[in-house]
Structure 1
Amino acid sequence: MAKKDTGSDQLLNEFKALVSDTEELLQHSVELTGDKAEELRGQINSSLQRARKALSSTEQALLERGKVALHTSEEYVREHPLQSLAIGAGVGFLLGLLVSRR
């Protein structure tokens, strides 16, 4: 699980870096010309590409976890149909109570 947390941390760090670079570009956009502007644009582009890669890998990890959870749920329902029905009825009853109180 630490690997998944690391991916989220990496994604968050990439977006923070992207925001920071973008803020810097906006603050210095009037002053920067030529090589300095190109260098900062290159840094922002690099940060954006890293953030996209991190987002893509996080998306893939979430899809895989969702597929595993769906498969596990389907197996449980097949193995315990009456318990699943009772759980569903209980959840429906509780939701009905919550909605009717409004």
Structure 2
Amino acid sequence: MASKTAKTAQDILMADFQTLVRDTEKLLEHTATLAGDQADEMRSQIRDSLVRARETLKLTEDSMRQRGEAAVVAAEEYVQTNPWQSIGIAAGVGFLIGLLATRR
């Protein structure tokens, strides 16, 4: 569920940033020819896109933080219920890192 929410938030974020880029490109193209109300409307659209992108980025950040906290809790629970297996896994990973480090 959290993964699906994070993926959706990431998709929304990407779409918002793409919209922001398109709006910015339009603004740059028409800067020389736009004046007055048209320029204000274009700037308003860009501001709205920025606000949406920031909100989506905040949602994504919150989702990632929740997933990280859930992973930490799950790891702590696993280590507490299986301390010897955890020590064995840590020793094995350390051994592999040691092997890789000595090859260089």
Higher relative contact order (CA 8 A, sep 6+): 2
Partner of 2:81: 79
The percentage of aligned residue pairs carrying the same residue is 50
Amino acid at match of 1:59: E
Q: Aligned-residue CA RMSD in angstroms? A: 1.0
Task: Give the TM-score, by structure 2 length.
Answer: 0.92
In structure 1, the gaps of 5 or more residues are: none
Query: Is the 8 Å Cα contact of residues 5 and 63 (structure 2) preserved in structure 1?
Result: no
Find the partner of 1:23 among 22, 25, 33: 25
Corresponding residue for 2:36?
34
Q: Deviation of residue 4 (structure 1)?
A: 2.4
Q: Which residue of 2 aligns with 1:101?
A: 103
Moved beyond 6 Å, runs of 4+: none
Count of aligned residue pairs for this structure pair:
102
Per-residue deviation, 1:24: 1.2
Tell me whether 1:13 sits opposite 2:15 in the alignment. Answer: yes
Q: Which runs of 5+ in 2 are unaligned?
A: none
Q: Is the aligned partner of 1:56 residue 2:58?
A: yes
Distance (whole Å) between structure 2 residues aligned to residue 33 and residue 44 of structure 1: 16
Counterpart CA distance in 1 for 2:33 and 2:101 is 58
1-structure distance, mates of 2:10, 2:95: 36
